Amino acid sequence: MEKDLRVFDKEILEKKLKDNIDIKAVSIIDRLHKHGFEAYIVGGCVRDIIMDKKPNDWDITTNALPEDIIVIFEKTVPTGVQHGTVSVLIDSDLFELTTYRIDGKYLDYRRPENVEFSNSLKDDLSRRDFTINALAYNNISGLIDEFNGIEDIKNKIISCVGNPDKRFNEDALRIIRAIRFSAKLGFTIDDTTFKSIEKNAKNIKNISIERINLELEKIIEFDPEKIKLLNRYSMSEFIFSGYIPNDDSINQSKKIHEIALYFMNNIDIKENTQRTIESLGLKQFFKYNADLSKLDQKNFMAMKRALIFKGVEYEKLHEILKKLRYSNKNIEKTEKIFYILNNKETELLLNDNLEKVKYKMILKKILNYMQDVDLVKCALFAKFIEKFENPTFCFQAINDIILRGECFSVSQLSINGRDIIENNIAQGAEIGYILDSILDYVMEHPESNEKKKLLSLSRKIQNNNINWRYDHEL
């Protein structure tokens, strides 16, 4: 415990900040100092260095006015001059510089009616959302912590700067941001801030759904279990168009999240998740399915989303995703995984004693429906874990289909629509029917995927109306 406390000594933190501050940010601060101005890195970049994380960007606060910044630096972009922000370009990197300011009255739960520039760093820090983001540093003055942000980082607490009611009424999105930071950092929201969230949660109705979705996605990315806090404070009903995700679905999303991250990044996980890994023999499974350790982030997010909303009707899911302004691609991925999770036919895959031909036919139908092998693996991995089954046999069958080059898509057939037309077999809409029928036959008889055989089969289907459509339809 003594060692942990010593890590937060100011001298140690300042050395860490000095060693890790971006050299280009230092050059900007030094240049402003030479012209008689103060400047500090501020906010998340300071917090991240203290927590041994790599900052994504470097925000700088200064008492230099926007017009001063534009004069001092050769390459600038007037990002938001009316609010005191100018971006400075150093080589190919952009750094946002914002003048110390005091915000005027907030009228729309998002923006101040006006801003007043200040010469005081404390004025600027006092308008920020949470204490952990109200930290500033430069190599001359050292670490500035006016609101006990270091203490809150040490104690893993999310706490508002000053009066939380005031902070949340200035920008209601901060309510969801508090939950997002709790998810990202694994911190607890302090009691006073929590009570204020409960009191002011209704104000999120004044925030654009696009801004809400950006925070929601980060909550799902970092810790899906925090969706329960949206439920607890009656925000889910508004965000999800009247639907409230149930705890079981959220827990499943969290479990998948932890299992995947454990094998991707070797993170610490909950004891019950560790038991799941051991009970299902997943270490051995991941050993032979290393591609799952490199999950596409969009597929991973779609898998977690689909699990969170598993209890909703398909049409309602589409309504929710459209309202939240997800891209068509993200909606498609989420809905496809959702469909596999809820489809009774896919539960036959849990039976590794099923006849091999039938087992592979179901998999080929899924591969044909989803048209993305990695997405199929995400969906079926989620399905098996949800049902507390080991997916090894299923993944062996998928890999066997891929390695053997067995056909599961019309594009993989040895004939196409032009071949059918040129051989005077059929025209128009009949071509699609013939190709679909042939695909079903070839999926059941992989060895028959030869042009001569398929042209002969096409004629039989056209002349005799033979239907090879397989019984098991997804």
Same domain, 66 and 173: no
Q: Please report which helix (H) or strand (E) contains residue 90, including its range.
A: strand 85-90
Same domain, 193 and 86: no
Residue 347 belongs to domain spanning: 247-399
Q: Are strands 157-158 and 85-90 parallel, antiparallel or unpaired?
A: unpaired
Write down how long the chain is. 474
What DSSP line would sit under 374-419, residue for residue?
A: HHHHHHHHHHHHHTT---HHHHHHHHHHHHHT---SGGGSS--HHH
Same domain, 262 and 395: yes
Q: Please report which helix (H) or strand (E) contains residue 89, including its range.
A: strand 85-90
Kindly report the CA angle at 458 between 454 and 463, in degrees rounded to 5? 150
Residue 474 in domain? no
For 368-423, how does the pLDDT look when each residue is reduced to its tens digit (9 = 90+)?
A: 999 999 999 999 999 999 999 999 999 999 999 999 999 999 999 999 999 999 99
Residue 113 in domain? yes
pLDDT at 267: 63
Same domain, 137 and 30: yes
Same domain, 147 and 262: no
Distance from first CA to last CA of the chain, Å, rounded?
A: 57
Report the distance separating Cα 415 and Cα 455, nearest Å: 7
Report the distance separating Cα 457 and Cα 389, nearest Å: 40
Strands (E), 225-310: none
Where does residue 428 rank: exposed (0-12), middle (13-18), buried (19+ CB within 10 A)?
Answer: exposed
Query: Of 105, 126, 151, which residue sits at a domain end?
Result: 151
Residue 197 pLDDT more than 70? yes
For 91-132, how does the pLDDT look when each residue is reduced to its tens digit (9 = 90+)?
A: 999 999 999 998 867 676 667 677 889 999 999 999 999 999
Same domain, 124 and 65: yes
Strands (E), 128-276: 135-138, 142-145, 157-158, 188-189
Residue 195 pLDDT more than 90? yes
Same domain, 395 and 251: yes
Residue 390 in domain? yes
Q: Please report which helix (H) or strand (E) contains residue 117, including its range.
A: strand 115-117
Residue 238 in domain? no
Residue 145 in domain? yes
Residue 473 in domain? no
CATH code (residue 110) = 3.30.460.10
Residue 404 in domain? no
Residue 239 in domain? no
Same domain, 334 and 429: no
Report the distance separating Cα 193 and Cα 165, nearest Å: 8
Q: Are strands 85-90 and 76-80 parallel, antiparallel or unpaired?
A: antiparallel
Query: Of 151, 183, 218, which residue sits at a domain end?
Result: 151
Cβ atoms of residues 62 and 38 within 8 Å: yes
Q: What's the structural domain count of the chain?
A: 4
Query: Of 151, 173, 188, which residue sits at a domain end?
Result: 151
Q: How confident is the model at residue 468 (pLDDT cuts 50, 70, 90)?
A: low
Same domain, 95 and 182: no
Same domain, 331 and 361: yes
What integer best gives the mean pLDDT of the chain?
91
For 307-357, how does the pLDDT look when each residue is reduced to its tens digit (9 = 90+)?
A: 999 989 999 999 999 999 999 999 999 999 999 999 988 999 999 899 999
Same domain, 135 and 162: no
3-class DSSP state of 194: helix
For 150-168, how does the pLDDT look when each residue is reduced to its tens digit (9 = 90+)?
A: 999 999 999 999 999 999 9
Same domain, 252 and 360: yes
3-class DSSP state of 139: coil
Report the distance separating Cα 173 and Cα 47, nearest Å: 20
Mean pLDDT throughout 64-72?
A: 96
Report the distance separating Cα 249 and Cα 265, nearest Å: 24
CATH code (residue 200) = 1.10.110.30
